[in-house]
Amino acid sequence: MVTPLRQSVLAQRGHLFCWVPVGLAFGIGLYFARPVEPAGWGLLLAGCLAACLMVLTRHKEADVAAGLWAVALILAGFALAGGRAHLVAGPVLEFRYYGPIEGRVVAIDRSASEALRLTLEEVRLSRVSPEETPQRVRISLHDEGFGVTPLPGMFVGTTGHLSPPSGPVEPGGFNFQRHAWFQRIGAIGYTRVPVVRLIPGPVDGGVYGLRMRLSAAVQARMPEAVAGVAAAITTGDRSAIPKEVTEDLRGANLAHLLAISGLHMGLLAGFVFGAIRFGFALVPYVALRVNAKKLAAVGACMAAAGYLILSGGSVSTERAFVMTAVVLAAVLLDRRALTLRAVAVAAIAVLTLRPEALLGPGFQMSFAATAALIGVLGWLREARLSYGPRWMSPISAVFISSFVAGLATAPFAALHFNHVAHYGLLANVLSVPVMGVAVMPAAVVTAVLAPLGLEHLPLWVMGQGLQWILTVAEFVSGLEGARGAVKTGPPVVLPLVSLGGVVVLLWQGHARWGGILLIALAFVIWSMTPRPDVLISDTGGLVGVLTPEGRALSKAKGQGFVARNWLENDGDMRTQEAAAALWTTEVAQTPTGQIVHVQGKRGLAAFEGCQSGDFAVFSKDYGAQLPCDYVDASALEDTGAMALYFEPEGLKRITAREIAGRRLWNDTAVRAGRFGAQ
């Protein structure tokens, strides 16, 4: 007997391959959602069970086989994520360090405060054994006015402060400890001392050094206003982009033009493909005797591979390259190029090699935009809907693609970055065609002509195109109400939105529209989840109380990164100084008492006690008994940042440690194999 459920599953035959990355993603998500680190034998067992189930599916009926494959893929994703976490394992600094820091420069960028930042390998720290020294450390240079100019591959030294990677700024917030773990960064810090070169002689920075030299060459030949953006789209180096330019691009929803992704890779490969075919067509004798289309596909794939290497190989670039390679392989095999199967192949490749990418906005937004575009454009093709008159078709195509991509990525941008660009569609319609017609073709021509010393004209064209894009970004971001702020959502929102979108795109039959219900449910949960009434930083140095006017902060300066994140997560665009102006005795009043913030040694000396029902926060250790509840620096070191909620039965506490759990990246005992791995 064929039940409705079985019939629905059987209707998916021929379309199940696209669900493979969904199963892997589900397993990866389960691994990262666990509160306790799985034991090594558990990961090994999950991998073995996945392999066994895949073998069993060979002799099962279609619906049973589909179910076994689903379980197998979830187990495989779980094992892949755990295996990757152990593969990148390395020492993490367990204390605050001050002293000599030596290492080889492997990355140069800028922090949110615009400070030059170095990532070092082959690290040497005074009084720290090699076994306990992190594989990589990252230090910010708070004074760039003296010392040697760091170059990729240079072995440098300085004296500075290092500490373990910090935890989330609030419970459930961005987990930098996990992010640093997968980048093999075991300590972060800063220095105010000159950086000196320790080993003289030629510096070989490898591919990264080549990228930085190309970046410097591009910047030297471009107008100052667009030099940083030109370097970003050609080499992936964003360190020279002024902060105000980045903010304008974000406010106009054009920041995706800085990330080398499907747009850039597709434009480059498409231009090379067309140029090679056109070149063959100019020589009829050759064009009639070779398959110019397939040779062009090979040449375009080689150009895309070179672009991948020179751009640094971020997640979005890797996805774009795999997609491009699959499309060009389809051309070689005389198959349809742009399909959701190609997206699935790219997702499988990225998730297999870098399972942690699933948690990042780059992966989520990149695949959401690509899958939505292919799905919608495929539906328009099957429905044989016209784009309008022939002269109108390019404009309609840009409008539709910008609208679809913007709609698909909007929830992810809002959840990760807490803002919505209201006029992003306008900015993209005015800018994306210029990127495709002028900027990327000019970049390719520049690469061809530069060895001959003839790059000036294409660089001029590229500069004019980028200047237009930056002008559009400045104009659109400056419009009244161009940028709106939204509060952050609970962890369940992203999986629900993603699953809803996947169901709409992949499920065959009317049940696909159930995905819209999942998305609607996610938005309802998002809107109804309250923000914490009180937030306490992990050092006790900052307290924020939610008021009808916004979050009031206990001080106007200090811990600016924490303050900025709290306000952004509230959907509040005010500055820390403006939020601190709200802090009064009345604001700090709770239903049971008062929030008392005791800051530093002076505050501790002036502290006169508290009453029952109050809640005191100390930025220093405080060992005495008090009639009120309190938390001090020592307790916060164990719990991490803390959130308080006003409830009828009293203040409810939630700590960052409770949400983050005890994992490889945040617990010394787990790394040593002594605590609760199961």
Alpha helices in 587-660 (DSSP H): 600-606, 633-639, 656-660
Whether residues 318 and 454 fall in one domain: yes
- How are the residues of the chain apportioned to helix, strand and coil, as percentages rounded to the nearest 5? 55, 15, 30
Tokens of 439: 């900027």
| Element of type H or E holding 393 | helix 393-417
CA gap 5, 282 in Å, rounded: 58
Whether residues 465 and 415 fall in one domain: yes
Tokens of 102: 């030596």
Whether residues 420 and 302 fall in one domain: yes
End residue of a domain, out of 146, 181, 203: 203
Looking at residues 394-421, what average pLDDT do you find? 83
Count of domains observed in the chain: 5
Is residue 208 one of the residues assigned to a domain? no
Whether residues 413 and 497 fall in one domain: no
Tokens of 66: 């589909």
Whether residues 127 and 185 fall in one domain: yes
Whether residues 104 and 180 fall in one domain: yes
User: What is the domain extent for residue 117?
Assistant: 97-203
Radius of gyration of the chain (CA): 27
Whether residues 562 and 643 fall in one domain: yes
Is residue 665 one of the residues assigned to a domain? no
Is residue 92 one of the residues assigned to a domain? no
CA gap 384, 380 in Å, rounded: 6
Whether residues 223 and 300 fall in one domain: yes
Is residue 153 one of the residues assigned to a domain? yes
Encode pLDDT of 470-506 as tens digits. 999 999 998 888 888 899 989 999 999 999 999 999 8
Amino acid at 276: I
Whether residues 329 and 400 fall in one domain: yes
Average per-residue pLDDT in the chain? 86
Is residue 667 one of the residues assigned to a domain? no
**HSE on the CB side for 159, CA within 13 Å?**
3
Tokens of 293: 């289309």
End residue of a domain, out of 87, 114, 148: 87
DSSP-derived pairing of the beta strands 155-163 and 419-421: unpaired
Q: What is the pTM of this model?
A: 0.87
Encode pLDDT of 177-235 as tens digits. 999 999 999 999 999 888 989 888 777 777 788 888 888 888 888 888 888 888 888 88
Whether residues 254 and 139 fall in one domain: no
Alpha helices in 282-392 (DSSP H): 284-287, 292-310, 315-332, 340-353, 361-382
Whether residues 434 and 478 fall in one domain: yes
Encode pLDDT of 411-465 as tens digits. 888 888 888 888 888 888 888 888 888 888 888 888 888 888 888 888 899 999 9
End residue of a domain, out of 152, 177, 203: 203
Whether residues 392 and 259 fall in one domain: yes
Is residue 666 one of the residues assigned to a domain? no
CA gap 44, 629 in Å, rounded: 45
Residue 86 in this model has a pLDDT that exceeds 90: yes
- Cα torsion for 246, 249, 255, 257, to the nearest 10°? -110
CA gap 269, 376 in Å, rounded: 23
What is the sign, positive or negative, of the torsion defined by CA atoms of 85, 89, 93, 99?
negative
